[in-house]
Structure 1
């Protein structure tokens, strides 16, 4: 019997993450044994921002803002960072976290499939553990490429399936059995978010398959690097072209609805 189709509709995903926003950070760090923090640090090191470029950085599907804050720290605030997500409850926590660290990061409520930013705006567009939750992965990638400046990069940090059979077996057991049980007990998600998590990872393309999607979206020089035995993988591509970008910083970034834009 085939497994039921994974429901990645915008309404379901937004509702699900809204329900677990309060326990999201705790569970992310606890269930990954804090390795998720290292993955974000590695991302900022392997895909460093250009502090001589005035163009900002966009962190898409930012959640509670961890990767946006990682890049803010990596540049000591010298490069503007913008966070975007379509889940308001997550953004409320991201804005509070940024305010607590003194980071001046604007957070914009926006759908990854229709970003409210002009073409060719960002020197770097990132997404960590969020692309697989976008209903139309290809459209999400096309939007990331559209808003990246020519010569800019797109970085995707996402869960993947370890290729080593022994590690894969242990990972699968933890991911399918232990993690959903702990996550559900702590989060009490009515949408069974932590049952959705392993299903979404298993249904999502990884390694060469995701790299091919990034190329199809218009990126060149695509490469990927597995992290922690392939539990997560970092994918990076460059938008072709070397044209300059106006010195605009974050000024003029059009927002979907200023009333739901959260600024520190």
Structure 2
């Protein structure tokens, strides 16, 4: 049976915000209606509920390491994190100093059941075959898998509204904030080719014993934590 997300406290969030580096990615801030940091913190807290003393952690499609950064702010015990990403430049610009592996998230170069935690944030929607990604994340995890990614509502009304927002509004909000609008237009094209959340949830259930499943921001995102099957 699914349980509720564990929420990060205001004090914990303040610690993250106070130390947040300038290189922290703004793209997900605009997509998530300014909730990306809070959701990452909630993901970390929820994962740790199901795996209290992790020793080895994998951050899949880590980008600049934003999720690992939040993890470090919220979990102070001894552990090791490995970051993976397909883009070498992203790993070079990482905001955390940890081991990094250049690889695709649908072909993780690790043995089965080697990581206590396998996690990811705001990345899996970029995959051409999300089932292969979930299968790989489940394969290399021995305790828990957790991720947040962009989905697509089952409601056609919400899909229509979000299409308009992502295509015509969000890029220009980004521009007002000092970013380049054209750098954000690709998000709409990723969203357009996604399957619906109910389709994704069936895939997740195939490889994970889901303990937490939530949809956020008009069902534009799914938040998932589960045990590998």
Please give the range of the TM-score, normalised by the shorter of the 2 chains.
Answer: 0.7 to 0.9
The separation in 1 between residues aligned to 2:129 and 2:162, in whole angstroms, is 27
The separation in 2 between residues aligned to 1:173 and 1:153, in whole angstroms, is 36
Q: Deviations over 1:20-52 (max 9, x none)?
A: xx9881343356453211111111122226343
Measured at CA, do residues 31 and 211 of structure 1 come closer, stay the same or move farther in structure 2, by a change above 3 Å?
Answer: closer
Q: Aligned residues, how many?
A: 205
Does 2:204 align with 1:238? no
Confirm or deny: 8 A CA contact 2:114 2:140 kept in the other structure.
yes
The structure with higher relative contact order (CA 8 Å, sep 6+) is 1
Tell me what 1:88 maps to. 88
Measured at CA, do residues 24 and 177 of structure 1 come closer, stay the same or move farther in structure 2, by a change above 3 Å?
Answer: farther
The separation in 1 between residues aligned to 2:145 and 2:131, in whole angstroms, is 14
Could you say what secondary structure the match of 2:213 adopts? strand
The separation in 1 between residues aligned to 2:133 and 2:157, in whole angstroms, is 33
Tell me what 2:7 maps to. none
Q: TM-score, normalised by structure 1?
A: 0.67
Does 2:140 align with 1:147? yes
Measured at CA, do residues 53 and 32 of structure 1 come closer, stay the same or move farther in structure 2, by a change above 3 Å?
Answer: closer
Tell me what 1:29 maps to. 29
Does 2:171 align with 1:199? no
Q: Deviations over 1:184-230 (max 9, x none)?
A: 893476xxx533212212322343211211233x3223641122342
Q: Where in structure 2 are the equivalents of 1:126-141 lying within 5 Å?
A: 126-141=119-134
Could you say what secondary structure the match of 1:125 adopts? strand
Confirm or deny: 8 A CA contact 2:58 2:83 kept in the other structure.
yes
Partner of residue 212 from structure 1, selected from 202, 207, 229:
202
Measured at CA, do residues 53 and 188 of structure 1 come closer, stay the same or move farther in structure 2, by a change above 3 Å?
Answer: closer
Q: Where in structure 2 are the equivalents of 1:248-259 lying within 5 Å?
A: none
Higher deviation after alignment, 195-204 or 62-71 = 195-204
Could you say what secondary structure the match of 1:91 adopts? helix
Higher deviation after alignment, 155-164 or 80-89 = 155-164
Tell me what 2:53 maps to. 52
1:163 Cα deviation after fit: 6.3
Does 2:164 align with 1:173? yes
The separation in 2 between residues aligned to 1:178 and 1:209, in whole angstroms, is 27
Question: Which ranges in structure 2 are unaligned for 5 or more consecutive residues?
Answer: 1-21
Q: TM-score, normalised by structure 2?
A: 0.76
Question: Which ranges in structure 1 are unaligned for 5 or more consecutive residues?
Answer: 1-21, 100-104, 241-264
